[in-house]
Amino acid sequence: MGYPLIDVLRTGQRLKEACIKKNIEAKEIKQFLGLAAMQSIYNWFQGKALPSLDNFYALSSYLGTELDSLIVPQGRHQEHEILE
């Protein structure tokens, strides 16, 4: 077993899909997390960056899901339901 890595692109896609499913817009996330601009959120959705651990945890709570369900490990190709 190697060192586990996060697939940033697919995690960003999953995060975006979870927001769409819950009908949550980027401006709501910006306000909830107290961010100065929405560019960070767009970077997360595009897989250019990941939220800080604190923001990721708060966002998972806001979405009503476990943090682990939003993270896609590298090398994992099977999909699972994001939110119930």
- Can you list the pairs that 30-36 forms with residues at least 24 positions away whose Cβ atoms lie under 8 Å? 32/58, 32/59, 32/62, 33/58, 33/59
Determine, yes or no, domain membership for 3.
no
Determine, yes or no, domain membership for 80.
no
Please count the structural domains in the chain. Answer: 1
pTM of the model: 0.84
CATH of the domain at 28: 1.10.260.40
Determine, yes or no, domain membership for 63.
yes
- pLDDT tens-digit readout, 8-22: 999 999 999 999 999
Rounded distance, CA 48 to CA 34, Å? 20
- pLDDT tens-digit readout, 18-67: 999 999 999 999 999 999 999 999 999 999 999 999 999 999 999 999 99
Residue 33 sits in which domain range?
Answer: 8-69
Measured between alpha carbons, how far is residue 7 from residues 14, 32, 40 in Å?
10, 25, 17
Determine, yes or no, domain membership for 2.
no
